[in-house]
Amino acid sequence: MSTPQQLPFTQAQDDAIYQAIRGEEERQSEGLELIPSENYVSAAVREAGGSVFTNKYSEGYPGKRYYGGQQFTDQIEQIAIDRACELFDCKYANVQPLSGAPMNVAAYFAMLEPGDTVLGMDLSHGGHLTHGHPVTHIAKIFNFIRYKMADPDTGAIDYDHLREMALEHKPKLILAGFSAYSRELDYKKFVDIAKEVGALTMMDAAHIAGLIAGKAAKNPFDYGFDIMTTTTHKSLRGPRGGMILVREDEELAKKVNKAVFPGLQGGPHMHLVAAKAIAFNEALRPEFKDYAEQVIKNAKAMAEVFRSHNIRMIGGGTDNHLILADVYGSLGVTGQEAEDVLDEVAMTLNKNMIADDPRKPMDPSGIRFGTPAITTRGFKEEECRQVAEWMVETLKNKDDKTVCERIREDIRSLCQKFPIPDQFFE
């Protein structure tokens, strides 16, 4: 970090943990964070996340708690709710979900009965585990039908086929959203299909919530979506956690609240609710729009470099913050090999399955990377093109220690020019 966090009590009490924290600070400071679901939070968000609210149990909701001593927890939660609704132009928000997966599970239980059918994107084509992958417990409760891209090279979704699937399976819920999809969705078509079959619509915006909040990406609520779920980290640049937003249906909002508590969770993490409120306030500032727009510009700049080297990208490029590249098909390097060698030169990303990947999940054909974190550091298109060139050069010379050592030093020098900020606005 640009200013190392002061940890005198940790240092005195538990040296092993203290050294690990200091090591992580150095790793983040001297390397490039390219995992698209990661970002840096402000010092204010970190302070709130470590505040005395970690001591407080607060089951229930503002004005309706099961324990006493809630005057300040009620304040911070209501502030967080109000700011979330303003950010995403909706009437209701539940800011208590502890993370992304339980957030989605709670949303399902608010809208569905066991055995109901959900139509969602296949994990191998960019969806998420919680969108009905057979390995998850939730897939044993609800009937998930999964759609795919019609053409992985363009990212096109065949909405006519999606409609046919909806007419055939009569889903109670049509689910949009993704964890590794780089194109803009046609939200109106989702809503039109849902209306035709009497289904609800839900957008899992965990990855692009910051882009939506910053007006750089379309807001699904503008097209009639019923529910939007999102984590509060990633592109939204807040603490780890989740929230569920409801466009306008009060009864649905009440069901969401009951599904979160007492249906799924006990005491909310009020220190993180406080941190969420701070992050939402940061995202409401006009400068956040500049940030969100730059995230996309930077991703497109990196895609240009990969295209110039004839490296196949699933979707053919990007409309958002991430790129999914077929490095095995293009360079003969597996996703695991790419992740390892790039990690050695301090570029952190993740291996990832590509559409209809012939390889295994733990050593797939692709890598997934993105620009939220490096944009927070102040990178613009020029720096992002350079980073992409280093990525390609490293992958093409993965066994050449001289090349890799030079790139590692170049990255260290670049990071010194762009320290991780403690605050994003004056």
Rounded to whole angstroms, how far apart are CA atoms 347 and 232?
24
Tokens of 101: 């997966």
- Tell me if residue 240 is catalytic: yes
CA dihedral (312, 315, 317, 322) positive or negative: negative
Edge to edge, what strands does the sheet with 350-352 contain? Answer: 322-326, 366-370, 350-352
For the chain, the distance separating the N- and C-terminal CA atoms, rounded to the nearest angstrom, is 18
Cα angle value 362/366/370 (rounded, 5°): 110
Active-site choice (10, 22, 56, 57): 57
Q: Tell me which of 33, 77, 204, 226 is the catalytic residue.
A: 204
Q: Which of 25, 59, 186, 410 is catalytic?
A: 59
Catalytic status, residue 312 = no
Q: Provide the 8-state DSSP code for 313.
A: B
Asked if 416 and 378 touch (Cβ cutoff 8 Å), the reply is no
Q: Which of 334, 332, 370, 348 has its CA nearest to residue 181?
A: 370
Catalytic residue among 65, 240, 359, 380: 240
Which is the catalytic residue, given 130, 231, 371, 376? 231
Is there a catalytic annotation at residue 348?
Answer: no
Catalytic residue among 148, 172, 183, 234: 234
37 secondary structure, DSSP code: T
Catalytic status, residue 222: no
234 is catalytic: yes
- Whether 204 sits among the annotated catalytic residues: the reply is yes
Strand 173-177 vs strand 117-121: parallel, antiparallel, or unpaired?
parallel
CB–CB of 424/2 below 8 Å? Answer: no
- Separation of alpha carbons 381 and 131, rounded Å: 33
* Residue 270: φ, ψ to 5°: -70, -25
The set of catalytic residues is 57, 59, 204, 231, 234, 240
